[in-house]
Amino acid sequence: DIQMTQSPSTLSASVGDRVTITCRASQSISTWLAWYQQKPGRAPKLLLYMASGLESGVPSRFSGSGSGTEFTLTISSLQPDDFATYYCQQYNSYSQTFGQGTKVEIK
């Protein structure tokens, strides 16, 4: 199975900060990568697909980049609603896998 590793596991930031989360794949997945946001007690919400495609309705402060094995999720200016846990997911293989998650906390 393809392993997905996110860093950092926890990130402390303030409103207005630029935030970057990294996701690394154990083998090349081209751009078959999605990012999700999850808040406590809620289902995950799709943010980005194909590494950089913004899902409809998602604010433009969210962006993604990367290909192959290294990917990033960037929040250009952190808003109060953005404090949550973020997951990457690879769908290059039939056995799809998630990263372990990055929790974005209030500094």
Q: Which of 22, 44, 52, 61 binds another protein (CB under 8 A)?
A: 44
Which residue in 11, 13, 46, 58 binds another protein (CB under 8 A)?
46
Please state the separation of Cα 15 from the chain's center in Å: 18
| 3-state SS, residue 90 | strand
Asked if 87 interacts with another protein (CB under 8 A), we say yes
Nearer to another protein, 17 or 67 (CB): 67
Beta carbons of 65 and 47 less than 8 angstroms apart: no
Answer for the pair 19, 37: CB distance below 8 angstroms, yes or no.
Answer: no
Contact residues: another protein, CB under 8 A: 1, 32, 34, 36, 38, 43-46, 49, 55, 87, 89, 91-101
